[in-house]
Amino acid sequence: MAVLDAVLVLGLVALLVYGIIRSLDRPREHRQPASGAGQWRTVHYDVQGATRVALQKVSPSGTDVLDEHVVATIGVDDPRYDERFLAAMATARERQALFEAEDG
Name the residue ranges covered by the structural domains of the chain: 1-31, 34-104
Convert 87-98 to b/e letters by CB count within 10 Å (16 or more is b).
Answer: ebbeebeebbee
Share of the chain above pLDDT 90, in %: 44
Q: How confident is the model at residue 23 (pLDDT cuts 50, 70, 90)?
A: confident
Q: How far apart are CA 101 and CA 40, in angstroms?
A: 11
Q: How far apart are CA 1 and CA 62, in angstroms?
A: 61
Contact 95, 55 (CB under 8 A): yes
* CATH number for the segment(s) 34-104: 3.10.20
pLDDT in tens, 57-95: 998 887 889 989 999 999 999 999 999 999 999 999 999
Q: Tell if the pTM clears 0.75, that is, is over it.
A: no
Contact 63, 82 (CB under 8 A): no
